[in-house]
Structure 1
């Protein structure tokens, strides 16, 4: 199958997961994670109507943004260093990996330069894995960042993001996704100004479970593009 056929298969799986959980498939955004994949594959999907793509590295994201059509919406989903925000601040659709107050302030400064508001998500390390970025999954820690966001006119907090630990049985990820949803709900109760509506959770291995637990955005790469060939990275 080519990338378009694989992508359509993923969409069908999303629809089936929504049906099982009584949800409307229109509530779930499919973000095609294109890191280490070619501009040609992205262009093929874009020509067939796909617009939302996620990248993990600023250099790769910036290069693809230059090469590919302006109709593409780029989402930063990887760890973001403060000194690199300036390279994407004028066009990035959303930054899903905010984990410090300092990063928030850098995004505010760079967004202000371009007279725009950048939507962001707080990255939460729900599984508390040492190998992953993200804040601790406590209401206190998340509210500290959320309250800071409310002071910044060029940053708009939309919700939370997490990457679940890898389990052979995807069913074991369910408590991780449920915890993120419950954390989001508690944050909204704490401050009515927040109105957090985005839960970015679920990847190729576990996105159906994430949808059943309330994901509004799933980040799928391998199931669409196939395995990444790190030996032939173009970026």
Structure 2
């Protein structure tokens, strides 16, 4: 940042300015769903308490259960990192602003401005906290004082499914001589929208390996 630009943030001694992209998640997910349905893929909503429920219906199961993998698979390495943000109406805010450790940020979107945030490891609470809301708003206003005039505040809470590393692997479950082929793809933490295309392609590659193994096993059985 230039000296003139940095003067807007007197509490900071150094800054960087750059152009980047922001993914507005809700419309992006709708676009992905529409794209998949256009290829003929069917989507069904149902609750699954045990992956073995799917054995009779599918040859290969891809597990993208996120935080649900802890209960579904007993994965104790998976933990939530709670995030709380505010959505405000402040159309005059055009630039992203983020402080040094990335905990305080202002992200303009299509319909609102996102103010954040928190990183609360091992917290499962989905209820907004009023004290946290005030703290986030105060921190963001210290970076952009004009936010004091923001309207239509909404609080959002989510759990980031985190692990020491993303679980992206094949697994074969066996029960009474019956096998269930799995491909795991979860534990992306806060970086899911940064790496999801790459991990999805790798998961698809692992699915193809599973299908090839099934075909090979079937061919041997016929001999």
TM-score surpassing 0.5?
Answer: no
Bigger proportion of residues as strand? 2
Larger radius of gyration: 2
Bigger proportion of residues as helix? 1
- The two structures have a TM-score, normalised by structure 1, of 0.27
